[in-house]
Amino acid sequence: MYEWIIQNKDLIKLFYASLIAIICIVITVRADKLFRLSLHQGIRYFRNAFIFYALAFIVRYLVEAIAGHGRITLYYPYINFCFEFLLIMAGFFLLYSLLWKKAEHSSEGYVSSLFNSRIFIFYSMSVIFAIVDVLWQTHLFLFLSQILIFMFAAFISYENYKKNDAKHKFPKFYFFAMLLSLFVWILNTTAELWFNWSQAILIGVYILNIIIFLLFLWGVIKVTKR
Amino acid sequence: MAKKRERLGVIKDILRAIMKNRQIKPTRLLYASNLSPQMFKEYINELISKQFIKLDIDKKEKKTFSLTPKGQEFLQEYKMIEDFIENFGL
């Protein structure tokens, strides 16, 4: 089984990226419908997070799989920069969807969710992290940013789960998805720092990522299927 | 002490009051919404700008509010929106 996976690595990567990109697009479309109806800022930032996740996976894996690994070697730093930038932004949007109530006031009115002063801070940080990672040929700033983001997100979603008083079942699973995401980023860091990108660890990361995105999708479909 | 109503809850209450009456005078809607005149004005302006409600003025200059199709759709989907916000802690 393990041998088969290693031999068909590129095909599996293509399947993995396509699956996650499709999940993210479904979540985006469903969240966008609810946002257009309610103009709720939290739903808007949540939707944005999944737009960025979808773009990140399309840029990183699908472009590589479609163009062929050899042909894009020259462009790899640019692709990697885009991938890291989009992934970090997605993490920021997901965290901000949990925090926006504390940072924004209803009197501010509706401004663009992609171009405003607060989001500009996220853009700046994402660009800096992605550039440093590309220059140093590492992924450590991406990993570190995501570990911090998901530590905060796990803490906030735990508070939400406690506040929920068993009214809904999903906040427990959302907290679990955040914890699992945190674990995946720690696993990624471990793979780079101490295990020389062990294939076995990476397969584990892929499987866990699919579980995490399926959990998000399940939560969205559960509410919006009516 | 009663919990302060969430913004979305206030919107739902205003829209339901309009739907119940089909057409409602501003003063009656103000009482039904249980808001201060200042807050009421802010919410009404927001709902008109979102095209959830419209202000009708007849020949005698009598003003009434009525629900638009978008407002009706919002009320139907309100539970779904509320569940989504609560489930994801948004």
Tens digits of residue pLDDT in A127-182: 999 999 999 999 999 999 999 999 999 999 999 999 887 788 899 999 999 999 99
From chain A, pick out residues whose CB is under 8 angstroms from the CB of B80: 34, 223-224, 226
Minimal-distance CA residue of chain A relative to B74: A37
Give pLDDT tens digits for A74-130: 778 888 999 999 999 999 999 999 999 888 865 565 578 888 888 999 999 999 999
Give pLDDT tens digits for A1-57: 778 887 888 888 889 999 999 999 999 999 999 998 888 899 999 999 999 999 999
Could you confirm whether domain A6-224 is CATH 1.20.1070? yes
Domains of chain B (ranges, CATH numbers): 7-88 (1.10.10.10)
- pLDDT band with cut points at 50, 70 and 90 for residue B1: very low
| Pairwise CA distance, residues A51 & B38, whole Å | 38
ipTM confidence: 0.87
Nearest to B89 among A31, A37, A160 (CB): A160
Helix locations, chain B, DSSP H? 7-21, 26-33, 37-49, 69-88
* Nearest CA-CA distance, residue A30 and chain B, Å: 11
Q: Are B44 and B30 in contact (CB under 8 A)?
A: no
Q: Where are chain A's structural domains? A: 6-224
| Pairwise CA distance, residues A62 & A59, whole Å | 6
| pTM listed for this prediction | 0.84
